[in-house]
Structure 1
Amino acid sequence: MNEPTTVTYTIAEVLKRIEDKLDTLQKDVTDLKIGQATLTEKVGGMDKRLSKVESEQATMVKAISDLQGFRSLIVPIVVAVSTALLTLLFRLVPNLSP
């Protein structure tokens, strides 16, 4: 038959070991909460920066669209100015026919 195991620890020693383990567990939980709070703060900061980037992107897209619209007006403006200058030049040149 198996003989019973003899425990050589006192109750005070066992309680001290349990208390130490609980203290370690409490510290781990506290560290985890601090880490979670820091992570939440960083994610919040990233969210704000992302919103700013999205806003700036929308502004840039609008500016590019406006520039593309202006670019389509450049050709007619150049043609109109060129025509006006040529017309003025032809009017200033005397009639060269004999």
Structure 2
Amino acid sequence: MSDPVTVTYSLEEVLKRIEDKLDKMDGSLNKIEIEVTEVKTELKGINKRLDSQEFINRSIAIGVIVALTSGVIKLFFPNFPNLPH
């Protein structure tokens, strides 16, 4: 049959290596968590800017529609505000 396997590492060495790897993983997770927080903050700022931009665009669109409507009314009814009594 096969020969028995002999482990040449001490339990203390193995545990130390595992702890080191866990520490590295913990550090990586902390960096990822910080980056996610930064992304969330950026998204909130972008969302606020988009909200204000939408408001400005809506206001401009309403102004253009009112101006065009006024122009069309004035074109077809030149005496509209001063209609004879």
Q: TM-score range by the shorter chain?
A: 0.7 to 0.9
Bigger CA radius of gyration: 1
The sequence identity of aligned pairs, in percent, is: 31
Q: How much does 1:32 deviate?
A: 1.3
- Provide the residue aligned with 1:26 in structure 2: 26
> Following superposition of structure 1 onto structure 2, how do residues 1-98 of structure 1 map, counting pairs within 5 Å?
1-75=1-75, 76=78
Greater helix share, 1 or 2? Answer: 1
Q: How much does 1:73 deviate?
A: 4.6
List structure 1 segments (4+ residues) > 4 angstroms apart after TM superposition: none
RMSD: 1.7
Q: How much does 1:69 deviate?
A: 2.4
* 1:59 alignment partner AA: S
The unaligned stretches of length 5 or more in structure 2 are none
The unaligned stretches of length 5 or more in structure 1 are 81-98
* 2:67 alignment partner AA: L
Give CA deviations for 1:38-96 in whole Å, capped at 9, x if unaligned. Answer: 1111111111111111111110111101211231254316xx9xxxxxxxxxxxxxxxx
Aligned residues: 78
The two structures have a TM-score, normalised by structure 2, of: 0.79
Ranked by relative contact order (alpha carbons within 8 Å, sequence separation 6 or more), the top structure is 2
The two structures have a TM-score, normalised by structure 1, of: 0.70
